[in-house]
Structure 1
Amino acid sequence: MDAAYLDEFDIKKYVKDRLSEIKDEDEYALAKSVLYDGLYRMSEVFEERYRSLYKKVYDELESKEESYEIAILLLSKNENVFLRMFFPISDLDVLEDKKNDIKEDYTESEDLIKTVYLNATDTVCKEFSQEKIGVSFTNNGEKHTLSVQPKKALRYRKEVGKLYETFSYNELRWNTVNTVYLDRFFDIDLSKLPQNARDVEVDYGKYADMIKEELYPVWNVEKTVFKSSTFLSPSKDGLYYEREMVKQRDKEIILRLVQKTEGMVGIRQEEEKIIVKTYEESYSDLEGYHIFDIRYTKEELPTGLISNKREDGMIGRLLNKTEEKIHTEAEIERIIEELDIGEYVSLKSCERLPIWKEVSEESRILPDMNNFSSSDFPITEESPKLVLRFSRNSDSNLCESMVRYAVSQLQISFDEYICVGVLENTYYTKGIV
């Protein structure tokens, strides 16, 4: 039998078909005893043992610290919604005295930033960032206008960057955070308005129907302080001081991370505790993060949630465990499959190109989601290019961003290349879902 036949072999059907061919009653009874009560029952035992062995190996390869996910959701400031395991990415979005609120009788002289969400494709977002937005206001009874240029709200990316640094300090594997929502927030700088400006209005022009003024992003990451009382007294190993924090039994928190501070030598995560090594004896509190397991309660997840959760198979877990890299087309396909972006795009092909000539600049989708201080990805002519071509499975305005997310994830594993995505426009869109 060839491999394909073995994969499709149904022993129950095989036994039934063979028995149906036997006409003699005595021979049928003997065959039934041998085939059904023997061969079929034995196959069930082997199948169950295989499943048990597979699950045992699969579970042993799983590391709770590596199975986390970062999920992002958009909420409205106008709605009183409380989600127990979600927290604002930026504290500026929830301050009671919001500087970014525009009021009719605005009289403050300090800088004023209005943050808006643009519900559009990546291409339209890029065009918006290059536009001049008109702002009208009244000053001393006279009508005036000025122009401002929208800028990406990079404070969200910077928060993701801080989280990345903390993962690095805690020596944990980083999975690219899907920033498709975060990259659609823009700051409108109104600091040039006169101190006594009134009746302030922003004219978004052709983008007006795409603008959402009251949205802000939340994620399942909580900033926290680990009290010194939760750490055991420091002990000295001859060179450094070590502080241990025993992890509390809280099944909703999948990961605890300690931020690095001055004087720290290293942070080590163990199954039951976190060990912090310092140059000097210290009893101070430590800042860090809690990452919540949003799937622990089995409750229905909020609509519109975007996550970096990966559906790791046994091969993926084994490679993560051994830190081996297999640079094949099959490995690329496996990683893309794990990302769970099939609702938006599918990988069609991948190829290695030494130069840019075969990929036009306007069609390149670059792996920029691991850049935390800007939204640009540095490119060079020297590095070989790994070009991944995707087709649309939806007319969603997030398809381009999902390709960015995919190539950003691949860039971590294929770092000797510049991973470039190309999206074939098989769906017609106007920039809005």
Structure 2
Amino acid sequence: MNQKEDMREMIRREIQSISVIEERVAFKNLMERVFLALYDTNEQMYSDLEKRVRDELAYDVNRYLIKTGVIERQYFDASHHLMSPMDDSDLDKKSYSLADIADVIEKQHEFPLMKVMLRCDFLQIHDILNNHNEFDGILETDNSNQKWNIRVNLRQNKSYLKKIGHLYQLFVKNGIPWQTVNAPYLYKFADVVLSELPEGINLNEEIKKIEINFGEYNQIICHDLIPIWNIQKLVLDSIGFPVPCEDHMNFEHLISIREYGTQHAYLAEDNMEIRSISQGKEKLSIISSASEAKKWGIYIIKNSKDSRIDHYTYPIMQNERAETFSEKFHRKWNQSVKTKAELARFIKGFNLEQYVVYLDCDIMDQLTGAAETYSMNMFIEDEIRDTRAQKKLLLRFRPGEREPWLQRDIASFLISEVQRIYPEYECRGVIV
């Protein structure tokens, strides 16, 4: 029974204790019309105040939730309401002439034939790319029955990681605090590159087929996978004419978002400096030094849920985490409680224990051995930290039950988030 019900029960007992009927009626009317009405009003005012405090403590970090994943090219639905390709060109079937390949090799010394994903642990990928990255293949052309032997190499694909770096710049431009993107698949993509064509091959012919023999690694090489995320880029016009701001230097531009949904988050991209961006009920308001109406590059971070019929072979990853009132309060005033209990609670808030389970941590002077985790925020430059003089924070995890090949990458995501809020340490993780 809550406090309000307790109050009502107490009043009922008092009413029943009054023996004179006229006094009982008068007392009951007084309680209902004055006391309980006043109590309900105070309770509603307190509830409204509490809501205002919660709303004003800090913005909702999960409003800018980023989801990432991979999907087979043949299964991708171009009309999908939530997930979009990170690179639209991945939907196109690639075809190259030998003349095009020869021209690129002459200029850039190598030609990327295809992208593959290595479905294995981070440490194994590191070993393959650095020590065992040469493989034999066969090239067939359309005008000849002859098969040509080729030699290819694997190079880490960084094109998708550059898109995450660009997203970080958008967050900075729009004044939104950055959260590490949980994108383990992007660190497993590699380009199959060709450095030279077979001597004597006819450059006027088209490529019919290319087969690469990855030897002992054939089982972990995945073809025709497309990285996807819940972000879509649009080009939208301003509504009407820009309105001068009071500072006589900047202008307010309004953009309608009614067609796309107000439940989503929006980021603006522009070469001109953006002073601020705010989202109203059906419009975006952008304060910029641009004085003329123009087209804006707008990025939608979609917050809708997948439909029940959506299916993914590989799990969708996200950087959402549960936040408590105390976390919002501490972030509002730039305060944090640096205890082991707080650290454990922060890590568990991501609900990733099905992949890796946090155990404990140690503060050390030096770290030994090869790194088992990596930074997912390598694009953030830090000019003032001297890592040589830093204490080291080593976090230990044990394997979860799902996706062993992703576990070190997910641990790296958690380490990157811990590094973001504990900049005084150099953070690293191990799975034991």
Which TM-score applies when normalising by structure 2? 0.74
**Structure 1 residue aligned with 2:294, among 284, 296, 310?**
284
Amino acid of the structure 2 residue aligned with 1:165? Q
SS of 1:209's partner is helix
Structure 2 unmatched runs, 5+:
3-39, 102-110
2:152 is the counterpart of 1:148: yes
Q: CA deviation at 1:146?
A: 3.4
Q: Corresponding residue for 2:360?
A: 349
Amino acid of the structure 2 residue aligned with 1:164? Y
Residues in 2 aligned to 1:408 and 1:208: alpha-carbon distance in whole angstroms: 31
Tell me the C-alpha RMSD between the 2 structures. 3.4
Q: Corresponding residue for 2:19?
A: none
Q: CA deviation at 1:58?
A: 4.6
Q: Is the 8 A contact 1:125 1:184 kept in 2?
A: yes
Q: CA deviation at 1:258?
A: 0.4
- Kindly name which structure, 1 or 2, has the bigger radius of gyration based on alpha carbons: 2
Q: Is the 8 A contact 2:72 2:224 kept in 1?
A: yes
Q: Corresponding residue for 2:136?
A: 134
Q: Corresponding residue for 2:229?
A: 219
Residues in 2 aligned to 1:380 and 1:405: alpha-carbon distance in whole angstroms: 20
State percent identity of aligned pairs: 22
Q: CA deviation at 1:275?
A: 4.1
Q: CA deviation at 1:333?
A: 1.2
Q: Corresponding residue for 2:430?
A: 422
Q: Is the 8 A contact 2:253 2:285 kept in 1?
A: yes
Amino acid of the structure 1 residue aligned with 2:323? D
Q: How many residues align?
A: 364
**Structure 1 residue aligned with 2:376, among 361, 369, 375?**
369
2:244 is the counterpart of 1:235: yes
Q: Alpha carbons of 1:120 and 1:53: their partners in 2 closer, same or farther (altered >3 Å)?
A: farther
CA shift digits 1:104-129 (9 cap, x unpaired): xx545234430011111111221221
CA shift digits 1:48-75 (9 cap, x unpaired): 99x9689835555463575321111221
Q: CA deviation at 1:200?
A: 2.5
Amino acid of the structure 1 residue aligned with 2:355? Y
Residues in 2 aligned to 1:371 and 1:285: alpha-carbon distance in whole angstroms: 31
Residues in 2 aligned to 1:323 and 1:268: alpha-carbon distance in whole angstroms: 22
SS of 1:176's partner is coil
Q: CA deviation at 1:410?
A: 1.0
Residues in 1 aligned to 2:128 and 2:275: alpha-carbon distance in whole angstroms: 43
Residues in 2 aligned to 1:420 and 1:258: alpha-carbon distance in whole angstroms: 34
Q: Corresponding residue for 2:326?
A: 315
Q: Alpha carbons of 1:231 and 1:180: their partners in 2 closer, same or farther (altered >3 Å)?
A: farther
**Structure 1 residue aligned with 2:63, among 40, 64, 67?**
67
Residues in 1 aligned to 2:285 and 2:262: alpha-carbon distance in whole angstroms: 22
Amino acid of the structure 1 residue aligned with 2:413? Y
Q: Alpha carbons of 1:83 and 1:298: their partners in 2 closer, same or farther (altered >3 Å)?
A: closer
SS of 1:78's partner is helix
2:297 is the counterpart of 1:306: no
2:100 is the counterpart of 1:109: yes
**Which aligned pairs between 1:25-424 and structure 2 lie closer than 5 A?**
56=51, 58=54, 61=57, 63-64=59-60, 67-79=63-75, 81=77, 82-95=79-92, 97-99=93-95, 107-110=98-101, 111-130=111-130, 131-137=133-139, 143-190=147-194, 192-193=196-197, 195=203, 196=205, 199-228=209-238, 230=239, 232-245=241-254, 248-249=257-258, 251=261, 253-261=263-271, 263-269=272-278, 274-295=284-305, 302-303=311-312, 304-356=315-367, 359-361=368-370, 363-366=371-374, 368-372=375-379, 380-394=387-401, 396=403, 397-424=405-432
CA shift digits 1:309-329 (9 cap, x unpaired): 112122222233333233222
Residues in 1 aligned to 2:419 and 2:230: alpha-carbon distance in whole angstroms: 25
Residues in 2 aligned to 1:329 and 1:254: alpha-carbon distance in whole angstroms: 35
Q: Alpha carbons of 1:80 and 1:421: their partners in 2 closer, same or farther (altered >3 Å)?
A: closer
Residues in 1 aligned to 2:88 and 2:307: alpha-carbon distance in whole angstroms: 29
Q: Alpha carbons of 1:231 and 1:186: their partners in 2 closer, same or farther (altered >3 Å)?
A: farther
Q: Is the 8 A contact 1:73 1:305 kept in 2?
A: yes
Q: Alpha carbons of 1:233 and 1:53: their partners in 2 closer, same or farther (altered >3 Å)?
A: closer
Q: Alpha carbons of 1:159 and 1:404: their partners in 2 closer, same or farther (altered >3 Å)?
A: same
Residues in 1 aligned to 2:170 and 2:233: alpha-carbon distance in whole angstroms: 12
Residues in 2 aligned to 1:215 and 1:379: alpha-carbon distance in whole angstroms: 40
Amino acid of the structure 2 residue aligned with 1:392? P
Q: Is the 8 A contact 1:99 1:113 kept in 2?
A: no
Q: Alpha carbons of 1:80 and 1:323: their partners in 2 closer, same or farther (altered >3 Å)?
A: same
Q: Is the 8 A contact 1:136 1:143 kept in 2?
A: yes
Higher alpha-carbon deviation: 309-318 or 172-181: 309-318
SS of 2:361's partner is strand
Q: Is the 8 A contact 2:397 2:429 kept in 1?
A: yes
Q: Is the 8 A contact 1:351 1:388 kept in 2?
A: yes
Residues in 2 aligned to 1:268 and 1:138: alpha-carbon distance in whole angstroms: 54
Residues in 2 aligned to 1:301 and 1:350: alpha-carbon distance in whole angstroms: 39
Q: CA deviation at 1:247?
A: 5.8
CA shift digits 1:320-348 (9 cap, x unpaired): 33332332222211220111111111111
Residues in 1 aligned to 2:344 and 2:307: alpha-carbon distance in whole angstroms: 29
Q: CA deviation at 1:232?
A: 4.9
Q: Which has the higher helix share?
A: 2
CA shift digits 1:90-117 (9 cap, x unpaired): 122023x5248xxxxx545234430011
Structure 1 unmatched runs, 5+:
1-9, 12-44, 101-105, 425-433
Q: CA deviation at 1:148?
A: 2.4
Q: Alpha carbons of 1:351 and 1:379: their partners in 2 closer, same or farther (altered >3 Å)?
A: same
Q: CA deviation at 1:231?
A: 5.8
Q: CA deviation at 1:269?
A: 2.8
